[in-house]
Structure 1
Amino acid sequence: MTQAQQDSTGDAERVRAFGDELVAVHDWFRAELAGLRTGEPLSGELRAHCVTFCERLSFHHSGEDRAVFPHLEERLPELKEALDRLRAEHVVVAGLVERLAAAGTRDELDRLSAELEAHFDYEEKQLVPVLNSLDAVPWEVRR
């Protein structure tokens, strides 16, 4: 097998596992939230960790909204309802992130955690099988 064929095969396997990559990203967020929730009241280092977490979450959701969801909606119009729901949930999560950043309370962290868990569960149920069936993900930057 030539190097080009090996690269192509590796890319195809990676694309077929794109939904699994989404779950891995969500699992990272879940673990980070669990760590935040077991810490002391949100102050000092824990607050800084929370800000970093929230920035990464915002980046993740904005990437889905700008690139992934429009791509899927164009090719799979039957996903429109699910994608609209996910976009709306992104707005709710962004509001909770703002409230957490402003208040920094355990209650706000718990609200965000509950909303994100429900959001991740729904997104995985709706999109992982679809993402794992893609032949290509043209929204990615090629190396």
Structure 2
Amino acid sequence: MHPSTQPGDRLAALGTQLIEIHHWLREELAQLRASLEPGAAPPAGGDRLRSLRAHCLSFCSALTAHHTGEDAGAFRVLAEEEPQLRPVLEKLAQDHRLIDGIVRRIEELAADPTVADPAAAARVLAELDGLTAIVESHFGFEERTIIAALDALRADAGSAEELFGLAPPAW
């Protein structure tokens, strides 16, 4: 089978693209968390504080862009096309607001000059543990409840980047 060349046609189902984005975000979160573990190897450049801040900023920005993109893109389109999903979409949007609060706390902690100290790093780790638990639950629920509806969207509903705030990673 040859890929279609019609404008708006997708080569991968939107549901698959969403799962790929979630997988990448999970990996990034795990790497961020591992970098704070006691005894973690120093980054290539040797500056743990700068590396932590850069990784945190990158991850937090990507997660925020994804959730903001979903709220304005995929959730809006799904609410119009699949009205029965509106309660699920509202629950997911509520999760986004909760996650955003945790992300802001992590960003504040990472900006603190003492973040490299063991006690400060432990506070960041605790926030990352909470974020990991919520994100895992959120991503799993989202994947179970809206993948089929995403896959059924018409081709002109938007690209993955328009609907999810991020493009799937290029593995």
The answer, yes or no, to whether TM exceeds 0.5 is: yes
1:126 to 145, 155, 161: 145
Higher mean C-alpha displacement, 103-112 vs 57-66: 103-112
Work out which of the residue numbers 71, 74, 86 in structure 2 matches 1:65: 71
Could you tell me how far apart the structure 2 residues matched to 1:44 and 1:13 are? Answer: 39
Question: Offset of 1:139 from its aligned partner?
Answer: 3.2
Structure 2 letter corresponding to 1:138: A
Cα offset, 1:126, TM superposition: 0.7
Letter in 2 for 1:129: A
**Partner Cα distance (2:53, 2:10) in 1:** 40
Residue identity matched to 2:29: L
Aligned length: 136
> Cα offset for 1:135?
3.0
- Per-residue CA deviations over 1:80-120 (Å, capped at 9, x if unaligned) read 11000000000000000011111241101111111111110
Tell me the equivalent position of 1:116.
Answer: 135
Deviations 1:20-63 (A, max 9, x none): 00000000000011111111358330221011110011111111
Cα distance in 1 for residues equivalent to 2:25 and 2:135: 9
Structure 1: gaps (5+ residues): none
**1:1-143 to 2 correspondence within 5 Å?**
6-8=4-6, 11-14=9-12, 17-40=13-36, 43-104=49-110, 105-140=124-159
TM-score normalised by L of structure 1: 0.85
**AA partner of residue 47 (structure 1):** R
TM-score (norm 2): 0.72
